Amino acid sequence: MKETVKYSILPQAESFLKDYLDIPISKIEESYCDDEFILNLKDYNSTLRVDGDSLHIVVIVCFETPLIDIVVKNFMSISEIDEDEKEELYLDATGEVMNIIVGLSNPKYIKKEQNAIMNTPKKIIGIRDIKIKKPYSVLQDNIYTEFGNMNISIIQNK
């Protein structure tokens, strides 16, 4: 796993919750796997691909419902969400959070990856887990808060 990616994307996810949205983080667990890996998705999930001259990664962000609820309320400065709009709003917010996290980390490694392009986030719907096999490796942060958990995973060809 490219260290520039590891040390630019994962800290941005933590900072987004803690510093931008003022959501305290109780624990962070980092894991790495370069063998077969089952990525367990949560209630709201989004994926985004970043490609450059020598950088080709997929980033997946997963939220539990109580945490994305707080994220949406804090991010949009609203107190109540209409039940009819909740599902679509949470899915869209997961993609927006992904854009922010990867976008803010972009300047930290863009100099090394001159032609890096960040694609549009895609919603992951109806899938509970993703099986990842060699030759891919996965670096994942599990971020725990009092409101629920968030995972951010970086998948890269070894």
CATH of domain 3-157: 3.40.1550.10
For residues 5 and 53, the answer to whether their CB atoms sit within 8 Å is: no
d(CA 47, CA 30): 19
Tens-digit pLDDT profile for residues 146-157:
999 999 999 988
Burial class (CB within 10 angstroms; exposed 0-12, middle 13-18, buried 19+) of 145: buried
Tally of CB atoms within 10 A around 43: 16
Q: For the whole model, what pTM was predicted?
A: 0.90
pLDDT for 134 beyond 70: yes
pLDDT band at 112 (very low <50, low <70, confident <90, very high): low
